[in-house]
Structure 1
Amino acid sequence: MDQSPEAPKQTPMAKEIAARFREKITGPNREYEPGDRLPAARTLAKDLGVQLMTVQSAFGQLRDEGLVLTQQGRGTFVRDPSVPLGTEPGSSPAFTALASELSTIHDALRVLGERMDRLERLVDTETPPSP
Structure 2
Amino acid sequence: MDSSPDAPKPTAKDIAAKYRSEIAGGEREAGSRLPAARQLAKQLGVQLMTVQSAYNQLRDEGLVLTQQGRGTFVRDPSVPLGTEPGSSPAFTALSTELSSIHDALRLLGERLDRLEEIVGSETPHGQ
Fold agreement, TM-score > 0.5: yes
Partner of 1:55: 51
**Of residues 32, 35, 55 in structure 2, which corresponds to 1:39?**
35
Partner of 2:9: 11
Partner of 1:3: none
**Of residues 8, 22, 25 in structure 1, which corresponds to 2:23?**
25
Take 1:38 and 1:130, find their aligned partners in 2: how far apart are those partners? 68
Please, which runs of 5 or more residues in structure 2 have no aligned partner? none
Give the superposition deviation at 1:9. 2.2
Q: Does 2:71 align with 1:78?
A: no
Percentage of identical aligned residues: 74
Take 1:58 and 1:103, find their aligned partners in 2: how far apart are those partners? 29
Computing the radius of gyration from Cα coordinates, the structure with the larger value is 1
* TM-score, normalised by the number of residues in structure 2: 0.91
SS at match of 1:22: helix
Give the superposition deviation at 1:31. 2.8
Give the superposition deviation at 1:128. 1.9
Give the superposition deviation at 1:57. 0.4
Take 1:55 and 1:127, find their aligned partners in 2: how far apart are those partners? 68
Please, which runs of 5 or more residues in structure 1 have no aligned partner? 1-6
SS at match of 2:83: coil
Runs (4+) of structure 1 exceeding 3 A deviation are none
Aligned residues: 123
Partner of 2:123: 127
Q: Does 2:102 align with 1:111?
A: no
* TM-score, normalised by the number of residues in structure 1: 0.89
